[in-house]
Structures are given as structure tokens and as C-alpha cells.
Amino acid sequence: MTEAQGGFRGWFAARKGVWSRLRFTSLRLRLVVVFGLVALTAAVSASGIAYWLNREAVLTRTQDAVLRDFEQEMQNRAGLLPEEPTQDELQHTAGQMANSSQRFSVLLVAQDAAGAPAYGSSGGLDGFTLADVPKSLRTAVNEKQEVDSSNKAEYHLYWQRIVEDDTPYLIAGTKVNGGGPTGYMLKSLEQEAKDLNSLAWSLGIATGLALIGSALLAQAAATTVLKPVQRLGVAARRLGEGKLDTRLRVSGTDELADLSRTFNNAAAALEKRVADMASRDESSRRFVADMSHELRTPLTAITAVTEVLEEELEMESGSMDPMIEPAVRLVVSETRRLNDLVENLMEVTRFDAGTARLVLDHVDIADQITACIDARAWLDAVDLDAERGIMARLDPRRLDVILANLIGNALKHGGSPVRVAVRVTDDEIVIAVRDHGPGIPEDVLPHVFDRFYKASASRPRSEGSGLGLSIALENAHIHGGEITAANSPEGGAIFTLRLPRETSDAVASGDENPQHDPPKGDA
């Protein structure tokens, strides 16, 4: 039961998501709805006006014909009756009047010779009696008007429409001028009502067809409008994916065609700009690589000379002139620094060119960290918290470069003791390097991995190359890992290295490019 409820909830959520997207984000649906509303408004308005005009025309035509015929019958037949007719005479005359072309029911009212009221009915419609005539109509019919130049008759014809049992009727009455009976007429308008209902149904069907037609037209218009927009969206996505040769086919002279031309022009300009930037970037990388290689040849000779000078400094014979000893030591130090800079530039060039590769091996993390610390004589300045036996498939040389840069940076800027702690999860190794210095200023934190970044403009020169942390970050990235910098709550800076326990062969061969930022240098 729980699984069924979960499945129903999932289905309902999916349907709700689809309907919400259609409702709020679908331009096609909005166009169809707007077209439909416009068509519905127009169709309903036109149908309503047409129905009202036809209704009035049908009722007025029928009403005029019936009233005209009734008035003629009153003059031709009821006007011939004596002033005091009998009931038989009234009955006979009413029957004759009812046989006219309009087929209405007739009621004649008069007074006989004894002064009693006499009635004559045509007998139609279940017997048309005086009770069926509205009182207001009887009063108006029997009201005598003054005869003058504008009014030639004492009595006039009056009428009104009534509804009985959902059937409309026309009822009218008049009195014979000059003395005579009063006549009332009742005419059913049921046939006219049916005709009007048929007209209403026809107009309703026409409105529905207009609505369907408008929806189809809206769909066609939406397709015409949205297809170029969809193609533009696809082209924009391809452009965002780096396919800068993407272009749209342009046809027509409307606004969408202008938009396509604008997109093509922008894509062409972007492609040219990116090509120019790539060319300049390639030239810059080639220059740095060539410069580094060219520097290595004279630097090798200089290094050999400085090694000889360094040996002279270390000899106990004191053959070195004390006046030039500081200069020699400076030359030795700067030569080493220049060697490091050239090596770092060549390494950065490999990363930029995408030629850096991993040589993977299974290593013990604790042994690797110990070897790095021991090789640089940092054993007394570094506390290591790592269990032996934590194995990982990594590039030992590049891991050594990462650790040397992180620990060396901590010793240089934070001072000893530096604590290195290793934690391990199911698929990740976390190495934290923490110092006990003043920490990293908040405005510097975002830039610690930038190349050649200087935390202070007043210290443009430092012992390092300014590339160590950048190279460490790139070595982490090539493993599929990451390095982050932060300030520890207990004080000091903390750099956290995260590496996968099993670096894939695809990453090692360069077939897979981990999604990280471009290489950056340290502070």
C-alpha cells in the first residue's frame, strides 16, 4: 500500500510539473490561449448580436402580421355584430376570426339585450377565457381615449408577450370603435421560439468551430513563430558548448530573420575574437615555453659555476675573499631561485598546453608524506597525523610537488609547527595542512591560487616564484581532486587537499578533462 501511494504521489508530482511548465512557461500554450480568447470573444459577440437581431426580426415580423390580421378581423367581422349580440353570434364570429391565415385564438366580450356579459370563444388552446388576459391589458383596452386632431379613434389595439408553461404567447386586445364587442387574441409563439433555439444552437456550433479554427490557426502561428526561436535556442546552446561555427539559416525579411542575422553576426564576431585570443594565448604559451628552454642552456652553465663557488664557500681553507663572499652567496641563492622559476614556468606551460600526464602507482600516503618531509629536512618542524597502510593510486611525483608546496608555504608564511592530518573516506583521501600563523586576510583568500599574486604591493619580490600553489592546484586537478584554502577557527591557515583513492586511467591518459578552473598561482 505504501509503494502504491508513493507511486501515485510520484505520478501526480510528475503530471503537476508538466502542467506547471505548460501553464507558466509554454509560449505555444499562451499563444493558443490568447488566440482562443480573442476568437471566443469575437464569436460570442458576433453570435450574440446576430441572435438578438434575428430574434427581434422574427418576433417583430410574426407579431406585426398577427396584429394586422387580428385588427382586420375585428373591423371586418366583429364590427358587423349588433351592439347587443347574443352568445351564439359571438361564438360564431369568434370561430370565423380564428380561421384567418394566422390561426390565433379569439375571445369576444359584449353585453346582451338583458345587460348581462356575453362571451364568445373560438375554443382553441384549451379554451381562451377572460382570465387568461392580463388585467393591465384589459384595463388598457377598455380605456376610452379623447378624439381630437391627433387621435382619430376612441379605442386602440394593445398587445404584450407572456410566457405560460415555458411557452411564449402574444396576446392582444381592442374594442370596436363606434360601439361593438371587445376582442382578445392569443397566438402561440412556440414555433418562433423553436426557430430561435435552432438559430442559437447554430450560432453556438459556429462559435465552437470558430474556437477550434482559432486554436488551429494559433498552433500554426505558434509553430511559425516558435520554430525559429527554437532553432535560435539550439544554436545558442551549441555556441555555449564551444561550437563557434554554429550558424542559423536566414530566410525572409521579418523581425525573426533580422534576429537570425544578428545571431550569425554575433557568432562570427565571437568566433573571430576567440580565435584571436586562442592565437595570442598559444603565442604566449609558446613564448614562455621557448623562453624557458632557451634559459635552461645558459642557466645550466651558470648553475655549474655557482656549484663550484658554493663548494669554495664550504671549504675550510678560507680561499674565498671575505669581501666577495656575500656576493657569491647572493649569486648562488638567486641562481637556485632562477632554476626553480624556470622549472615552474615549464610545468605551467605543460598544464596550459594540456600535455601534463600522470604516471600512476599505488602508494602509501603516510610514507609519501614522510618522504617529502624528510627530503626537505622538515622533520622537526612538521607534525604528521597519518596512519600507515592508507593506499591510493596516484602519481607519486606530482603528489610530492603538491605536499612540498603546501607544507613549504605553511612554514614560510605561518611558521612551525605545521600539522599535517590525513583522513580517509570510502572513495576520497583528505589531507589537511594547518599552520599556527596569523592566517590569511579575507581579501586575499580568493586569490591565494592566482599566479604571481602578491598579498601586498609593498612586497613585490619574494623568495618563491609565485607559482607554487598554482602548480599544486593543477596537480590536484589532473588527479580529479581539489585544494581549498581557509582560516582555521583555532587560528592559522588551513589548506585542504582532496584526492580520489583511485585515479582513473582516462584522467591519467588525458582523455578526460576534469571540470575545474584554469591553473592559478599562489600568493
Q: For residue 520, what pLDDT band results from cuts at 50, 70 and 90?
A: very low
Q: For residue 72, what pLDDT band results from cuts at 50, 70 and 90?
A: confident
Average pLDDT value over all residues in the chain = 78
Which runs of consecutive H residues, i.e. helices, occur in 364-465? 365-375, 396-413
C-alpha gyration radius of the chain: 53
Residue 16, judged by CB atoms within 10 A of its CB (0-12, 13-18, 19+), counts as exposed
List, for residues 109-145, the tens digit of each pLDDT value.
Answer: 888 777 788 888 887 445 788 888 888 888 888 888 8
Task: Report the alpha-carbon distance of residue 513 to residue 444 in Å, rounded.
Answer: 28
Longest CA–CA separation in the chain, Å: 174
pTM above threshold 0.95: no
Mean pLDDT of all residues in 101-110: 84
Which runs of consecutive H residues, i.e. helices, occur in 133-189? 135-142
| Cβ 334 vs Cβ 288: under 8 Å | no
Residue 422, judged by CB atoms within 10 A of its CB (0-12, 13-18, 19+), counts as middle
Q: For residue 522, what pLDDT band results from cuts at 50, 70 and 90?
A: very low
How much is the pLDDT for 464?
57
Q: Percentages helix, strand, coil for the chain, rounded to the nearest 5?
A: 55, 15, 30
Q: For residue 252, what pLDDT band results from cuts at 50, 70 and 90?
A: confident
Which runs of consecutive H residues, i.e. helices, occur in 111-189? 135-142
List, for residues 285-343, the tens digit of each pLDDT value.
Answer: 677 667 666 777 787 777 777 777 777 777 755 666 777 777 877 877 777 777 777 77
Which residues 6+ apart lie within 8 Å of 2 measured at CB? none
Q: For residue 517, what pLDDT band results from cuts at 50, 70 and 90?
A: very low
**Spatial CA neighbour of 520 closest among 470, 469, 447:** 470
How much is the pLDDT for 495?
92
How much is the pLDDT for 14?
54
How much is the pLDDT for 484?
92
Q: How far is CA 193 from each of CA 124, 149, 197, 202, 298, rounded to the nearest angstrom?
A: 20, 40, 6, 14, 113
How much is the pLDDT for 483?
92
Mean pLDDT of all residues in 445-461: 66
Task: Report the alpha-carbon distance of residue 116 to residue 87 in Å, rounded.
Answer: 10
Indicate left, alpha or beta for 165 from its phi (over 0: left) and psi (-120 to 50: alpha): left
Task: Report the alpha-carbon distance of residue 81 to residue 184 in Å, rounded.
Answer: 16
Task: Report the alpha-carbon distance of residue 32 to residue 220 in Å, rounded.
Answer: 9
Going by their DSSP bridges, the two strands 158-164 and 482-487 should be labelled as unpaired
For 214-267, the DSSP string reads HHHHHHHHHHHHHHHHHHHHHHHHHHHTT-TT------SSSHHHHHHHHHHHHH
Going by their DSSP bridges, the two strands 418-424 and 382-385 should be labelled as parallel
List, for residues 345-390, the tens digit of each pLDDT value.
Answer: 777 777 777 777 888 888 899 999 999 999 888 888 888 888 888 8
Which domains does the chain show, CATH number per domain? 21-199 (3.30.450.20), 357-456+463-500 (3.30.565.10)
How far the first Cα of the chain sits from its last, in Å, is 61
Q: For residue 10, what pLDDT band results from cuts at 50, 70 and 90?
A: low
Task: Report the alpha-carbon distance of residue 189 to residue 162 in Å, rounded.
Answer: 10
List the grid coordinates of 65. Answer: 402580421
Distance of CA 124 to the CA centre of its chain: 71
List the grid coordinates of 247. Answer: 550558424
Indicate left, alpha or beta for 186 from its phi (over 0: left) and psi (-120 to 50: alpha): beta
Strand partners, 120: 108
Highest mean pLDDT among 325-339, 437-451, 503-517: 437-451
Which residues 6+ apart lie within 8 Å of 401 measured at CB? 471, 472, 475
Mean pLDDT of all residues in 152-156: 83
Catalogue the E-assigned strands of 356-502: 361-364, 382-385, 391-394, 418-424, 428-434, 482-487, 493-500
Higher pLDDT, 55 or 140: 140
Q: What percent of the chain has pLDDT over 90?
A: 7
For residue 131, the 8-state DSSP code is G
Task: Report the alpha-carbon distance of residue 401 to residue 509 in Å, rounded.
Answer: 20
Going by their DSSP bridges, the two strands 428-434 and 418-424 should be labelled as antiparallel
Higher pLDDT, 505 or 144: 144
How much is the pLDDT for 246?
86
Mean pLDDT of all residues in 440-464: 69
Cα-based torsion angle of the residue sequence 316, 322, 326, 328 in order, rounded to the nearest 10 degrees: -70
How much is the pLDDT for 211?
76
Query: Is a pLDDT exceeding 60 seen at residue 174?
Result: yes
List the grid coordinates of 183. Answer: 376582442
Q: Is the peptide bond before 417 cis (omega within 30 degrees of 0)?
A: yes
Q: Which residue has the cell 600563523?
A: 437
Higher pLDDT, 118 or 223: 118
- At position 291, the amino acid (one-letter code) is M
How much is the pLDDT for 507?
52
Strand partners, 362: 393
How much is the pLDDT for 125?
45
Highest mean pLDDT among 100-114, 222-236, 460-474, 480-494: 480-494
List strands edge to edge, sheet with 482-487. 382-385, 418-424, 428-434, 493-500, 482-487
| SS3 of residue 122 by DSSP | coil
Mean pLDDT of all residues in 424-440: 87
